[in-house]
Amino acid sequence: MSKEPSVWPPNQSPKITKTSSEDCHQACPYLLSKHVLGAGSFSHVFECKNKNTGSHYAAKQYTKKLVYGMESSLQSEFQILKQVSFGHKNILSLVDYFETEDHFYLVTDLALGNDLFERITTSSEGKLSSCETRDILGPLLSALAYLHSNQIIHRDIKAENVLFTSRSSKPSSLLLADFGLALLVKDGEHSHSQQGGTLSYMAPECLTGNSYSFPIDMWAVGVLTYFMLCGYMPFDCDTDKETTQLIKNGDFIFEPAEYWTDVPDSAKDFISQCFKVNPEDRITAAQALSHSFVLNTPLKRSPSSISMSQLQAAVWKLHSLQSLSSSTRIAHLSSGASGYSSFSSRLSLDESCGSSVASTNIHRLLGDRCYSPDTISHFCTPLMSSQVSPVSSQTNLHKPSKVEISRLSAASPESEKVSFII
């Protein structure tokens, strides 16, 4: 078993310590691109490549000196990621983790298809069609229902945190990401009052100082659905004060009318169900999976109760429409609970077996301390290619020819000449 790094020790208070060179016993098996995929207040995300397997991933790099005093937040993100990894195909999975003298690294799935915000804003009409929105809502709600069934509140559902593994429009390409604000509801707890999230997506109960729970994620889904269908946010105003007031009152309209002429009534009803000011009246993720808009069935005007058997049948119908790739699963565990996925979120990375990830376990660090990874200006593989790695069967890195180096150098600005460190 690998030695646990100091940021996530079992049954101890998190404490980050600078690793001495004597503690680094091995070379890092990952090669890091210098190209930043994303950045936060305390972290940067880079594309990386396992030198032994040739597989490409995303490496989230935390600088130790910047997260000093915030170790519990990092530890929480790690624990939640580890809990849900490989449990659901539409949730970003933690593949590996390790630390160096100055940094912590979380190695996750690589999303080559950018995020939902980019997909909406760069579309020809500045919005998505009802069909496209439905295709995104299905797997997103499935992933969210899975989190909630495992007592996890995401707390940061927004377009920027919905990623795609490729440019494909297939639902299987969607990944719900960024668990930096996620909360695990412990046994006996029913609500939280800790502030956090993005104002435009925050539910009324988060702004009034009241306690909140899983329904805040469904309010955010409503905001996201509204944004997908018309291209603008439902509550945003010139000032945060005005925006906050509209959210507290649940004050929204489907206007300008010309933006909504091609949107079905079922979609508007779905949004309205998400925007219930009273969280107890708000639709749940599991119920949303059976909504007429998500299932593309006629809207039922008369109110009626939904039996558990009907809910299970609807969820299974959606499940059967989406192909399940066994190669992306870690284990298929039987579960008696209803829901879209029967994969257990209690699956530990160290317990995984029977998959391509598990078969390359020898090339994973899983918490070990090592030297800083070598870096490369750019990978030869285009970042936006449809394949994660065209050389995944290779055991050694492809060394570029002089022609390739010259071509890449010529395409780079003078200040960013390509330099390969192998």
Q: For 310-361, write each residue's pLDDT tens digit.
A: 445 544 444 444 433 333 332 332 333 333 332 222 223 333 333 334 444 5
pLDDT at 392: 31
Q: Which residue has the higher pLDDT, 397 or 406?
A: 406
- Asked about 238 being catalytic, the answer comes back as no
Q: Which residue has the higher pLDDT, 422 or 212?
A: 212
Q: Which residue has the higher pLDDT, 27 or 163?
A: 163
pLDDT at 11: 35
H or E element in which residue 135 lies: helix 130-149
Q: Which residue has the higher pLDDT, 366 or 344?
A: 366
Assign 3-class secondary structure to 1-26: CCCCCCCCCCCCCCCCCCCCHHHCCC
Which residues, at least 6 apart from 287, have a Cβ–Cβ distance to it below 8 Å?
306, 311
Which residues, at least 6 apart from 223, have a Cβ–Cβ distance to it below 8 Å?
158, 200, 201, 233, 234, 235, 274
User: Tokens in use for 162?
Assistant: 């919905």
Q: What structural domains and CATH numbers belong to the chain?
A: 21-111+346-416 (3.30.200.20), 116-328 (1.10.510.10)
Which residues, at least 6 apart from 55, have a Cβ–Cβ distance to it below 8 Å?
49, 360, 388, 389, 392
Q: Is the per-residue pLDDT at 72 higher than 70?
A: yes
Q: What is the mean pLDDT of residues 289-304?
A: 79
pLDDT at 356: 37
Q: What is the mean pLDDT of residues 353-380?
A: 61
H or E element in which residue 408 lies: helix 402-411
Q: Is the per-residue pLDDT at 154 higher than 90?
A: yes
For the CA atoms of 369, 397, 56, 341, what is the dihedral angle to 10 degrees? Answer: -90
> Residue 50 carries which DSSP code?
E
Half-sphere exposure of 297 (CA within 13 A, CB side): 11
**Using one digit for the tens of pLDDT, what is the confidence trace for 335-345?**
333 333 322 22
pLDDT at 126: 94
Q: Is the per-residue pLDDT at 19 higher than 80?
A: no
- Side chain identity at 322, as an amino acid letter? Q
**Using one digit for the tens of pLDDT, what is the confidence trace for 236-251?**
999 999 999 999 999 9
- Side chain identity at 138, as an amino acid letter? G
Residue 360, number of CB atoms within 10 A of its CB: 16
pLDDT at 23: 55
Q: Is 254 exposed, middle or buried (0-12, 13-18, 19+ CB in 10 A)?
A: middle
> Residue 369 carries which DSSP code?
B
Identified catalytic residue from 96, 115, 156, 368: 156
Q: Which residue has the higher pLDDT, 167 or 296?
A: 296
Which residues line the annotated binding site for ATP?
Answer: 60
pLDDT at 397: 32
182: helix, strand or coil: coil
Q: What mean pLDDT, rounded, does the chain reach?
A: 75
- Which residue, 251, 258, 257, 254, is CA-closest to 237? 251
pLDDT at 233: 97
Q: Is the per-residue pLDDT at 388 higher than 70?
A: no
